[in-house]
Amino acid sequence: MLNIVLFGPPGSGKGTQSEKVIEKYGLMHISTGDLLREEVAAQTELGKQAKAIMDTGELVSDKIVIGMIRNKIEEHQDGPGFIFDGFPRTVDQARELRKALTDYDERVGVMISLEVAREELVKRLLKRGKETGRSDDKLETINNRIDVYNRQTIPVTYYYDKMHKHAAVEGSGSVNKIFDRIVEVIAKVKS
């Protein structure tokens, strides 16, 4: 299996680049944001609780997202591998991911972090908000999401640094150019 964590702040292009990685390597996409939005759309009890939190820009509890991830890993344990998008977002989630994969004798091959300046992130997210109406893509929530990322999520990079699995990639420029940089990193892990 090839397991990749695609990491970066909100608006850094994880979703866009995940699609291209999947197309090239045939991995299973696991986006905790998408999974949570599915729960919101289905108006489940979990979805109702999650929406209130997501609209403020804070993180949904580790317990909820780890449960969702474990289910997905179990469902696709015989596949070619996973691309984790928007997860892990806390060091506890990173530890739990390691445990969950170890249960299947698997591990994260590389954690790729997309680096984009704050002003650019805000610009991209405001544009997406206008185009899609996504309820958390409004200025106040965007600013809090970036603050939450800096406070709670950045420490995840140190976790993967320690294991020599963290590769930083410049996340500005054209979509294809950024993808080329990602492919270069993946090629090293695969060889």
Comparing CB distances to ligand ADP, the nearer of 2 and 31 is: 31
Q: Shortest gap between Cβ of 117 and ligand ADP (angstroms)?
A: 16
Residue 62: how many CB atoms within 10 A of its CB?
16
State the residues that interact with ligand ADP by CB under 6 A: 10-11, 32-33, 36, 53-54, 57, 59-60, 65, 86-87, 89, 93, 136, 145
Closest approach of Cβ 53 to ligand ADP, in Å?
5
Report angle CA 60, 62, 68 to the nearest 5 degrees.
90
Please name the residue that has the structure tokens 């506890």. 92
Q: Which residue's C-beta sits nearest to ligand ADP?
A: 33
| Number of neighbours of residue 58 by Cβ within 10 angstroms | 15
Report in angstroms how near the CB of residue 42 gets to ligand ADP at its nearest. 15
Q: Least distance (Å) from ligand ADP to the CB of residue 188?
A: 25
CA distance 41 to 180: 34
Q: Residue 3 or residue 93: which is nearer to ligand ADP going by CB? A: 93
Separation in Å, CA 53 to CA 32, 121, 135, 137: 14, 21, 12, 14
